[in-house]
Amino acid sequence: MSAPLLVIAAGGTGGHMFPAQALAELMLTRGWRVKLSTDARGARYTQGFPREVEIEQVGAATFARGGLSAKAIAPFRITAGVAAAVSRMMRDRPAAVVGFGGYPSIPALAAATLLKLPRMIHEQNGVLGRVNALFARRVHAVACGTWPTELPPGVEAVHTGNPVRRAVLDRVGAAYIPPGDYPMSVLVIGGSQGARILSDVVPPAIANLPAELRRRVRVSHQAREEDVQRVSTYYSDEGIDADVQTFFADVPTRMSEAQLVICRSGASTVADLSVIGRPAILVPFASAAADHQTANARGLVEAGAAIMFPEKKFHVEALSEKIALVLGDSDGAMRMAHAARDAGVPDAAERLAGVVERLVDAEKGKDS
């Protein structure tokens, strides 16, 4: 008897792909076969997936971006993607299909709906994304990473937490070294696309720190490609030790070694912060759909693990004051780190896998 097949469908950002990767890693250890359905943009995030995962690129499109011609052709691309997904699933029938959001998850979820296969969605943010909202009433289960999550009327969900990658789980329990009279690390990350505002505000805010504190700060700063040179030059001119790159492949390690993290509040970043347990200054992306990054940040802020800055209040002097507040208070920073860890759900992948397997068992029971 062949191993059951799980099809994971996810869009092309780290926020969707990292929890999808975490579930794939775990399901393989439980004896499942796993396929990932994504588009070309999502395929860029597959380097970290186990090699046993079969990657299927699908035709996907969005009505939210592009000009009139792109929007006109979108229905045809989506229809073609759904047809291709139906054909693949008829040849190799999945035991379950799990969607993690993003437009590239539409073909697999739509095909599973047409074929009446066991299917569910996982929403990482505190507000359902467009695609997950579309399918919320068409799936057998809804799992949520952030709690509470705003749901459509009549839709019930289970809180699983946001699964984190093995590289993050490997840092669980890494001791937090509170700020002190020694070199201190500040990690600045802006999500999948980087963040211009972090590159504009963070460097001068660090330069504005009291001299005695500033000389002990070491910065790892993720910046957009077009910002790397100016950010790197600024730090250098100010005599600040900084590593500026467009992408850090070792974010879990850098995060575990940091005394403070300054970042967006994407769902995966918040999950990583809470599982590893580090103090943070969170800057929600103001243009995020339904302001979901503010909803994501709320739990850590209320737990006393993070400071939240709305973009309109994210200015050099205010940020510099908060950085000094955290790095100048060893006991307070330690309390923030512990509060973050207490808010974490390190077994989120196990919880989500349990939902998948119970769903499959329930559907088998109906057929018997």
- CA distances 69 to 72, 73, 333, 365, Å, are 5, 6, 52, 47
Own/partner contacts of 86-91, CB < 8 Å, gap of 24 or more, are: 86/111, 86/114, 86/115, 88/56, 89/7, 89/115, 89/117, 90/115
Q: Is residue 261 left, alpha or beta, with left meaning phi > 0 and alpha meaning psi from -120 to 50? A: beta
Structure tokens at 41: 């943009």
Q: Binding site, residues?
A: 13-15, 125, 165, 192, 293
Going by C-alpha positions, the residue among 306, 299, 41 that lies closest to residue 193 is 41
Are 132 and 121 spatial neighbours (Cβ–Cβ below 8 Å)?
yes
Q: Which helix (H) or strand (E) holds 360?
A: helix 348-367
Q: Binding site for UDP-N-acetyl-alpha-D-glucosamine, residues?
A: 13-15, 125, 165, 192, 293
Please tell me the total number of residues recorded for the chain in this structure: 368
Are 42 and 11 spatial neighbours (Cβ–Cβ below 8 Å)?
yes
Question: Any alpha helices (H) in 238-291, and if so which ranges?
Answer: 251-257, 267-276
Strands (DSSP E) along 237-365, which ranges? 241-245, 260-263, 280-282, 306-308
Sign of the C-alpha dihedral, residues 231, 236, 242, 247?
Answer: positive
Sign of the C-alpha dihedral, residues 254, 258, 262, 265?
Answer: positive
